Amino acid sequence: MQKYKTESTIIFWLHRIEDIIVTFLLSSILIFAVTQIILRNFFESGIIWADSLLRILVLWLALAGAILASRQGKQINIDVFSQFIPDPYKHHVQKLNFLFASVICLLISYYSFQFVSLEYETGGYAFAEVPAWVAEAVIPLGFAIMGMRYLVQTLTINKKSSNPEL
Amino acid sequence: MTTLLVVVVLISLALFGAPLFSVIAAAALYGFYIAGIELQVIGIELYRIAETPLLMALPLFTFSGYILSESNTSQRMLNLIQSMVGWMPGGLVIFAFIISALFTAFTGASGVTIVALGALLYPTLKKAGYSEKFSLGMVTASGSLGLLLAPSLPLILYGIIAQQMDLDVHFSINDLFIAGLLPVALMVIALSIYSVIKNRQFRINTETFDKRRIYSALWAMRWELPMPVLLIAGIYSGYFAISEAAAVIAIYVLFIEVLVYKEVSFSRLMRVIRESMAMVGSILLILAVSLALTNVFVDAEVPSILFDLIKDNVESKISFLILLNVFLLFVGAILDIFSALVIVVPLILPVAISFGIHPVHLGIIFLANMQIGYLTPPVGMNLFISGYRFKKPIAEIYSASFPFMLVLIIVLLAITYIPQLSLYFIAK
């Protein structure tokens, strides 16, 4: 029982951290975009690297959002056949789906990590003084988190909860 | 042989409900693998999300749309039209179509129109004397009306995908926004005519005209009314870029709904951020992996094989368009609109262009088909949302919205075979 409680506390805080990151990224995009518009239209200036930064923030937000979506079981799927599967077997199919998603996410994480380490060695800048690999590192990181999440869901899914929020 | 097996396995996984992004990503990885390309390339492909300037509009418009549907905007819109046209026979229904279209354009294609606006419209229509079946069908069919109006997400997404493709024919997102105007107007007119004819034998209660009610309804909306003006003036005049307009609108909506109307509390705002960004994340993720898969297809010359295949069997532009409509109605019935866009558009756009179809026209045809797809089983999202919201069996919802779907199909045919409807204002 104690163990279960600790687990759910950890999960609670993991979720709050994710929420905060998403909120922070969205607010940053709003603030930078509007600052840029004001600077351009009223002061005829602007931050040179703001557009690059905004585009990178969108990538980060996309991955953070995708992590949220996999936590809430909200990833887009087609799902026309599963309604024909009898209830007692549904969670087996779901298990397979999660396992598959997990393997693919971890593969993407692995290969994009190789790409990022290559970028780290060769250098190059995303904008201003920020190296490109920093902006790109979110890809292996995001997919690793999603892969782990799907793995946990694969292991914990059972007859009662067809879609655990983990 | 192995490839065939992989394709069959992946398609089965998709149909049994595996997250679609993982299926598409697996296909892309496999494609790179058999083409002998280093799999690290997936990192470069996914990073393209950060190299597409327009994409910023997606999270921001989604965010605004979610906030609007959380607040009482829909109630205020309904009050306004009731006070203005409630006295006119048929006025309520006609303007209900118009506000549904506007609401859908602002809130994207998430079916939120039915939940936020339809849920208010349905009892209002029944109270006015419209039959239950008619009201139910009307509300369900209106749930995706307005997909072709700026700033709806699918419309922007189509523009982004097409612009990623290096086409010979160039167009801007603004062209798409303008192209959707006449087709949507035509849909609203056709649906209105049908509704008026259908209800001519019923006694519909009209309300007395009262100037003061109009003033108070307008006054209640005073903060929201500038929004379409801001958007239309901003985008259609070219003063703002679309992504900037998205940022300005998001800040404005946030300001009025949270601080002025105070209808979205802080904790609800956090939930809105979470839900809207989860949706954005899942769309962008599918977009990213599909762009990678498209490159695999292009390297394997799939579009040109597809093109030859179609060219050998299809003679004219007209027969291609007929085939296209049948195919897209089918796609719309089994795929949700975002998956359909990212998977199907890269494959058919080059073929369509070589048949002499303008990419803007194709976009309008594509989305009009998808709009109808929202009303067709087995995956028609509007049917499910209505069924869930109004607690009716899907079969009943389907038969209620069926006549509206037929009207929309007639309009779809007009849109498909009269390109001027989409292109008239662009050619100039």
* pLDDT score recorded for residue A4: 61
Asked whether the predicted pLDDT for residue A165 surpasses 70, the reply is no
Asked whether the predicted pLDDT for residue A1 surpasses 50, the reply is no
Whole-number average pLDDT of chain B: 86
Tell me the mean pLDDT in the region A74-97: 80
pLDDT tens-digit readout, B201-215? 776 767 777 788 888
Provide the CA B142 distance to its chain's centre, in angstroms. Answer: 12
Asked whether the predicted pLDDT for residue B372 surpasses 60, the reply is yes
* Beta carbons of A69 and B279 less than 8 Å apart: yes
Taking the CB of residue A28, how many other CB atoms lie within 10 A of it? 15
Tell me the mean pLDDT in the region B343-355: 89
| Gap between the Cα atoms of B172 and B159, Å rounded | 8
Please report residues of A whose CB lies closer than 8 A to that of B292.
Answer: none
Query: Quick one: what percent of chain A has pLDDT higher than 70?
Result: 92
Asked whether the predicted pLDDT for residue A2 surpasses 80, the reply is no
**Bridge partners of A125?**
A131
Q: pTM to 2 decimals?
A: 0.87
Please report residues of B whose CB lies closer than 8 A to that of A51.
Answer: 53
Tell me the mean pLDDT in the region B87-103: 86
Q: How confident is the model at residue B89 (pLDDT cuts 50, 70, 90)?
A: confident
Most confident listed range (A118-127, B175-184, B262-271): B175-184
CB B178 within 8 A of CB B150: no
CA separation (Å) from B301 to A37, B168, B296, B319?
42, 18, 9, 24
Nearest to B313 by CA among B297, B299, B327: B327
Tell me the mean pLDDT in the region B102-114: 80
- In this complex, the residue of A58, A64, A101 whose CB is nearest that of residue B22 is A101
Q: How confident is the model at residue A161 (pLDDT cuts 50, 70, 90)?
A: low
Most confident listed range (A5-9, B49-53, B139-143, B302-306): B139-143
Type and span of the H or E element at B63: helix B57-70
* pLDDT score recorded for residue A88: 80
Please report residues of A whose CB lies closer than 8 A to that of B342.
Answer: none
CA separation (Å) from B259 to B70, B106, B168, B277?
14, 20, 47, 21
Tell me the mean pLDDT in the region B93-111: 84
Asked whether the predicted pLDDT for residue B227 surpasses 90, the reply is no
Per the structure block, which two tokens stand in for B297?
């297809």
* Beta carbons of B47 and A140 less than 8 Å apart: no
Whole-number average pLDDT of chain A: 84
* pLDDT score recorded for residue A99: 93
Tell me the mean pLDDT in the region A42-55: 83
Helix or strand or coil: residue B275?
Answer: helix
Strands A130-131, A125-127: pairing kind: antiparallel
Tell me the mean pLDDT in the region B82-101: 85
A-B contacts (CB, under 8 Å)? 196
Mutate to test the interface with B, among A22, A83, A121 (most CBs of B within 10 A): A22
**DSSP string across B134-194:** HHHHHHHHHTTTTTTSTT-HHHHHHHHHHHTT--SS---HHHHHHHTHHHHHHHHHHHHHH
